[in-house]
Amino acid sequence: MPVPVTIRIQQADFDIAREIAALTAGRTDIGAVVSFSGICRGSEKGEIIAALTLEHYPGMAEAEILRHAETAMSRWPLTGLTVVHRVGRIIPGENIVLVLTASAHRQAAFQAAEFLMDYLKTNAPFWKREESAAGTSWVEAHDHDDAAAARWTKP
């Protein structure tokens, strides 16, 4: 049976419980679901953030997430996978991204979720712009995110 994969990019918020229920409905082969949610922080380096605006590259964003989903499925025995990434204006406290990984056992689910998030950060074509009292500015990429993604390529 093919592994169910859901990838969505949307402006609207998502409901984590509903996404998990959709992933596991009618299944008895799933023993573990790991859920990661990325949430908009209200401050960055001591500065108050009013909102983030997320821009993406339609078409490539979905393709890039699917490529990493396929890599994750080839590396771990996953039985289901969901990625939802929001775009548009997001205020502190709101969800930005959701990754769900399902497997028979927890270890694969934990590792695949972390792998997917590390690659989403550095390779999926999304860009954040921050609004603060000082105006708006594009968020700069962090070296530690590149390092987090690179560790998965080590033997």
| CA angle centred on 125, ends 146 and 51, rounded to 5° | 90
Residues 62, 10 contacting (CB under 8 angstroms): no
Residue with Cβ nearer another protein (40 or 79)? 40
Residue with Cβ nearer another protein (131 or 145)? 145
Q: Which amino acid makes up residue 27? A: R
Q: Which of 5, 35, 57, 110 forms a contact with another protein (CB under 8 A)?
A: 57
89 in contact with another protein (CB under 8 A):
no
Task: Name the DSSP class of 72.
Answer: H
Residue with Cβ nearer another protein (64 or 73)? 64
Residues 130, 137 contacting (CB under 8 angstroms): yes
Half-sphere exposure of 134 (CA within 13 A, CB side): 10
Q: Which of 49, 54, 81, 113 forms a contact with another protein (CB under 8 A)?
A: 54
List the x/- string, 9-38, binding to another protein by CB under 8 A: -----------------------------x
Q: Which of 11, 127, 147, 151 forms a contact with another protein (CB under 8 A)?
A: 127
Residues 101, 34 contacting (CB under 8 angstroms): yes
68 in contact with another protein (CB under 8 A):
no
H-helix or E-strand containing 54?
strand 47-56
96 phi-psi bin (left φ>0, alpha ψ -120 to 50, beta other): alpha
8 in contact with another protein (CB under 8 A):
no
95 in contact with another protein (CB under 8 A):
no
**Which residues in this chain contact another protein in the complex, by CB under 8 A?**
38, 54-57, 59-61, 63-64, 85, 96-97, 117, 120-129, 138-141, 145
